[in-house]
Structure 1
Amino acid sequence: MSSFVSSMVQKVAVIGAGMSGLTSIKSCLEEGLEPTCFESGPDIGGLWRFKEEPEPGRANIYESVVLNSSKERMAFSDFRDGRQESEVFDAVMVCTGLFTTPNLPLKDFPGIESFTGKYFHSREYQNAEDMRGKRVVVIGIGSSGGDIAVEISQVAKQVYLCSRSGAWVVSRVGPRGLPVDMMYSSRMDQMLKSLFPSQSSRTIEKMLNNVFDHELYGLKPQHSISEKNTVVSDALPARIISGRIQLKKNIKEFRGSTLVFDDGSAVDQVDVVVFATGYKYSFPFLPPNLQEMSGYHLCLYKHVFPPRLSKPTLAMVGLIFGQGSQSPLAEMQARWATRVFKGLARLPTKEMMLDKIATLTGTMHQRYACYEGTPIQVKYMSYLDSVASQIGVKPNMALLLLKDPRLAFQVLFGPFTSYQYRLSGPGRWAGARQAIFSQWDRVVRPFNKKVDPKALKIRMVPKAPSSVVGMVLFSSAALLCGSFYNT
């Protein structure tokens, strides 16, 4: 184990005041550290601070953006609703994110220099006002590309959405009009997906095709739904079936205002091309020896710590993707990093970390469709549990079953939310138990403020069993789940 004296770290530099930076500052304060935040912009918020004009080197969002995650899944675990200076710090937390350097692969599009219209990266997109009456091509079918295409299609003459590989499209709204990410995200759901991965993927794909036939709509991808993040869009299928958006293959070449596609078709008189082609890894302030790569991503232990530092005084927070909200991932990384800085949690040896990184990188590339645009993909719940174990805050299902069966039932069968990581251990929050029991109340509150949510009788999680047989079955499931998550 690497040796580290807690008294050596007191002052921590946090680079970036976005979501990851803010939760890192909070984690530093919780551990009694002294954070100083460096932010190149004029205000906090990072990616989520809307800017009228895109600023070079800073993340940006468009005016009509809608979060992919519901508010309960996005919530932090204990909170729900010109001058230059030089200073020496004991530790640094890099929280600049992955959305600052646009990936604009113009070399992959022969003839782009002959294009007579306007082209730009999606980072520069604000709203659709300048697209009225125009022919617009959107390249890339991630969530941003889908959202931008949908919005532009409301005013443009025609929108063409280009995709190399297609995508599985998921609505934010599930059965009964409730947030879909609150309905199929329990620990029991995840255990079944892990035990029966192929069958689970086929079942989910069948459910999505029952909403709309992805092959008929020209969206069916070659990859399984478990191999790549889905496109979250409520309106894309409706815009396709209405003809406002046409799906096209990848662009073969530009010929002036004409775009020729891989299938031989062409579109004439194109006015605007939007490149929704993702972002590049870019950390120009890091020395070269800390930019070692493992696959498509930085060589980091559990995607946080560089393994070759003699002392763990640098942590990368928020540089990760998973099929879930980013907030809990960044928060968990920040909680762990500050514990390591103080010497309250220890890292393995350099050799053990490098070996683990190599193994996990190989597994990641086998399991997911990783590439430069999406360099890191993790199993969401498993990753959070893995880091939580380093802190000592992962829910102990067997102990919960003995001490608080009702809570154990909610943790096992209810929506997987970050409150679970404040039930015990460092940073325990007294309100975590109530937050878990009341999370559905907060979900339905906006529907009718005059109606008690309990009166709506929304029981997405069944009542805990009261019979002897029911309790035996539940206990067996809880112990099985506990054993599964402790492996």
Structure 2
Amino acid sequence: MPTPADYDTPATGATLWRGDRPVSDQGENVCVIGAGASGLCAVKNLREQGFGVDCYERETGVGGAWNWRHDRSPVYATTHLVSSKPFSQYPDFPMPDSWPDYPHHGQVLAYLERYADHFELRRHIWFGTEVVRVEPADGGRWDVTTRSAGGSGAERTQRYAAVVVANGHNWSPRMPEYEGLSDFTGQVIHASAYHDATQLRGRRVLVVGGGNTGCDIAVEAAQQAVRCWHSTRRGYWYPPKFLFGRPLDQIHARAVALRLPLRLRQWIFHLVLRLTVGDLTRFGLPVPDHRMYETHPIVNSQLVYYAGHGALIPVPDVARFRRHSVELVDGREIDPDLVVLATGYQPRFEFLDGQLLDAGADGRPQLYLHAFARNRPTLAVVGLLEADSGIFPLVHWQSVAIARWLRTRLADPAAAAVLQARIDSEAGASWHEADVADSPRHWFEVSHLTYLRALQSTLDSLEVPAR
């Protein structure tokens, strides 16, 4: 395993003091927290704007959520992308032509490792190092305290000109509260603890949650478990991964490129799904209570198939747990011995006071473009997105905007002040063309084209002087 000696070490600047703690001044260097898909992209684009960068990663390798070896990774054995290859790759680093339309998680990790090597990013990353605290300092700067991952070793504090947070938002499980859950004698796990189908084999399984992960696990349970129930609070659309022989997101992108109005696109897709998938109620699935694109898209070719074969039993929301059974809101009782809660994740910034991101009691940050903090021009978040396409292209342009913003602040304060006014006034605005459902699952939902246009407008306002 590489050691810190193999990487550029943070420059040893003047020693400052924060109370009784020594602080090493890192000048105009920027701190990036996390070396997953978003953090790597941030390091690369900050370096291209001429910034010195120190990236801290608590794990021993790159990849973040896509590195299944990491403790916090939500990846399970059969995880594949739900966005197709053209919408899942960085614009300046294409995936291999030989790869399938929907790459496996192992291929995604290999892709991120190649990206890090191609742009020589590892030399800027401190692996096995966790960030303990990020605190504001004088002049818009930040004191970042780190230590060896696992809590051992002495803490070290360094002062940076800016901080870019890229610690991900799919690692802290959102655990629902149910009456009687503590007395239930069966096994209850969050989807983050699901790794492969051996955990389902021979069990009576209840999967709670209608997102892509919940649907994937329910399909695997339909194949492996003695009995499988799938509980959702509402009805959803279940478009297949391929439509007319092409990946679904490519069909959607073609409709968007033709500038078809949202309502017309919704009508067309509803018609196509009725013709291809059919009436969902025939399979015991509830009628969707929304139009297409008004919730985060679920892309699954098999859930309706297994429901139609009786191997997957759709059921409504859980009302309460009993000692040996689960009561549903319609009064039925079922008797699973394994419950998988695919109930999503809570964004967490353990090292940062939530008020710095305008986070309310629910933990939801209020940011411009889900990236720029109000009244904190040297603090940004990258990758805090859910989209109707792949995330990597959005993260690329998001981190380009952050890097150019930090450069413009140094080179053209007047231009930066104009954008800062927009950041302060529009933080928390929606970047989705439809009215999405009001739920934590959709806090960071964006329409990729709407969002890219907003990013382009931001980039157009940033003059990047020659260095």
The TM-score by the shorter chain falls in which range?
A: 0.7 to 0.9
Q: Are 1:160 and 1:248, in contact at CA under 8 Å, matched by a contact in 2?
A: yes
Give the deviation of 1:59 after TM superposition: 3.4
Q: Which has the higher strand share?
A: 2
Match of 2:130 in 1: none
What TM-score comes out, normalization by structure 2 length? Answer: 0.75
Q: Does 1:375 align with 2:446?
A: no
Q: Where does residue 26 of structure 1 map in the other structure?
A: 44
Distance change (3 Å), C-alpha of 1:261 and 1:62: same
Q: Does 1:181 align with 2:252?
A: no
Structure 1 residue aligned with 2:356: 290
Counterpart contact for 2:233–2:316, Cα < 8 Å: yes
Structure 1 residue 95 displacement after superposition: 0.6
Aligned: 1:273 with 2:339: yes
Distance 1:348 1:368, change over 3 A: farther
Q: Does 1:115 align with 2:195?
A: no
Partner-residue secondary structure (3-state), 1:391: helix
SS of corresponding position for 1:237: helix
Cα drift, residue 366 of structure 1 = 7.7
Task: Measure how far apart 1:279 and its partner are.
Answer: 0.7
- Correspondence for 1:157 among 212, 226, 229: 226
Alpha carbons of 1:232 and 1:153: their partners in 2 closer, same or farther (altered >3 Å)? same
1:151 deviates by 1.3
> Residues 219-275 of structure 1, C-alpha deviation per residue, up to 9 Å, x if partnerless?
43101112111211121111111111100000111112211111121213x110000
Distance in 2, Cα, partners of 1:209 & 1:393: 44
Write out aligned runs for 1:86-485 (5 A): 86-105=157-176, 107=177, 109-176=178-245, 178-186=246-254, 188-189=256-257, 191-193=259-261, 197-212=262-277, 213-217=279-283, 218-268=285-335, 270-293=336-359, 297-309=364-376, 312-343=377-408, 346=416, 348=418, 352-357=422-427, 360-361=429-430, 367-392=435-460
| Structure 1 pair 187–241 and aligned structure 2 pair: CA distance change class (3 A) | closer
Query: Aligned residue for 1:434?
Result: none
Change (3 A) 1:283 1:277: same
Gaps of 5+ in 2: 1-25, 96-147
**Number of residue pairs matched by the alignment:** 375
Structure 1 pair 372–9 and aligned structure 2 pair: CA distance change class (3 A):
farther
The 1:92–1:290 alpha-carbon spacing in structure 2 relative to 1, beyond 3 Å, is: same
Other-structure match for 1:80:
94
Bigger relative contact order (CA 8 A; separation at least 6):
1
Letter in 1 for 2:320: E
Conserved 8 A contact 1:48-1:61: yes
**RMSD of aligned alpha carbons:** 2.6
2:74 is aligned, of 51, 56, 60, to 60
In the other structure, the counterpart of 2:68 is 50
Contact 1:76/1:327 (<8 A) preserved: yes
Q: Percent identity?
A: 28
Local SS of the residue matching 2:219: helix
Q: In the aligned structure 1, how far is the partner of 2:45 from the partner of 2:405?
A: 12
Give the helix-richer structure, 1 or 2.
Answer: 1
Structure 2 SS opposite 1:279? coil
Determine the C-alpha separation between the residues in 2 that align with 1:379 and 1:41.
32
Offset of 1:114 from its aligned partner?
1.9
CA deviation map 1:419-458 (0-9, x unaligned): xxxxxx989xxxxxxxxxxxxxxxxxxxxxxxxxxxxxxx
> Which runs of 5 or more residues in structure 1 are unaligned?
1-7, 395-424, 428-487
Measure the CA separation in 2 of the matches of 1:243 and 1:37.
50
Q: Would the aligned equivalents of 1:9 and 1:341 in 2 still touch at CA under 8 Å?
A: no
- 1:134 maps to a residue whose letter is R
